[in-house]
Amino acid sequence: MSPKTWNGQLFCIFYAVIGIPMFATVLVGTGERLQIPIKKVHKGRPWLKNNASRDEKLKSIVLLSVGTCLLVFIPSLVFDVTQNWSYLESVYYTVITLTTVGFGDLVPGYFEKPAETQTKKENVYRVILGLWILLGLSWGALILSEIGSLLQSEITSAANQTQQKLSDLEHIVRKKAKETRDKIVRK
């Protein structure tokens, strides 16, 4: 489905220009809120501080991986049953949707009957589907944020190590220069 008229296309342009940034803001905010309980699991310590241990980083990776699996494989089971898709099709749909590729070749919650004849159960299913997509996209924003934090942590750590090595080298060079100067002055 796509707009065919000039007015419809113009509406879609404005809707996309305004709606996409607003939705991105909602996703980032939801992703940040998802960090709160995860940080509590780590005893209130930020996930990827420069001094975070490898165990803490591993716990974070495991937690993100488990959450991702739950957001992909459990809904895939539901789609397998409710949409009469194969499990592979269900996983495909889930991954394609949550990565925002969204080809539109599979559409859950589409019941081939007029809207007025659809049941309350079908409408609730659609609402839950929308909430799952919002949660899944927020989880994706959380993962991207944590990858960014990890990369920043690694870059900062490498920069600090390089700075320390340069400082040590500078100290050695100054010491050797002083020793050499003292030898020359004594002669």
Written as one string, the DSSP assignment of 7-74 is HHHHHHHHHHHHHHHHHHHHHHHHHHHHHHHHHHHTTT--TT-TT--HHHHHHHHHHHHHHHHHHHHH
**Comparing C-alpha atoms, which of 110, 159, 109 is closest to residue 131?**
109
Residue 16 has pLDDT above 90, yes or no: no
pLDDT of residue 47: 46
- Residue 176 belongs to some domain of the structure: no
- Residue 168 belongs to some domain of the structure: no
Q: 142 or 49, which is more confident?
A: 142
Report how far apart, in Å, the C-alpha atoms of 16 and of each of 13, 84, 133 are: 5, 32, 18
* CATH (domain of 136): 1.10.287.70
pLDDT of residue 51: 54
Which whole number is the average pLDDT over 140-145? Answer: 82
pLDDT of residue 48: 46
> Which residues constitute the domain of residue 118?
6-148
pLDDT of residue 128: 93
Residue 118 has pLDDT above 80, yes or no: no
- Residue 129 belongs to some domain of the structure: yes
- Residue 144 belongs to some domain of the structure: yes
Residue 75 has pLDDT above 90, yes or no: yes
pLDDT of residue 185: 85
- Residue 103 belongs to some domain of the structure: yes
User: Average pLDDT of the chain?
Assistant: 82
- Residue 187 belongs to some domain of the structure: no
| Number of domains observed in the structure of the chain | 1
- Residue 72 belongs to some domain of the structure: yes
pLDDT of residue 150: 75
Residue 91 has pLDDT above 80, yes or no: yes
Find the helix or strand (DSSP H, E) in which 147 lies. Answer: helix 120-186
Q: What percent of the chain has pLDDT over 90?
A: 26
Q: How distant is the alpha carbon of residue 126 from its chain centre? A: 24
Q: What percent of the chain has pLDDT over 70?
A: 87
pLDDT of residue 129: 93
pLDDT tens digits, residue range 166-180? 999 999 999 999 989
- Residue 120 belongs to some domain of the structure: yes
pLDDT tens digits, residue range 20-37? 778 878 877 877 777 777
d(CA 177, CA 171): 10
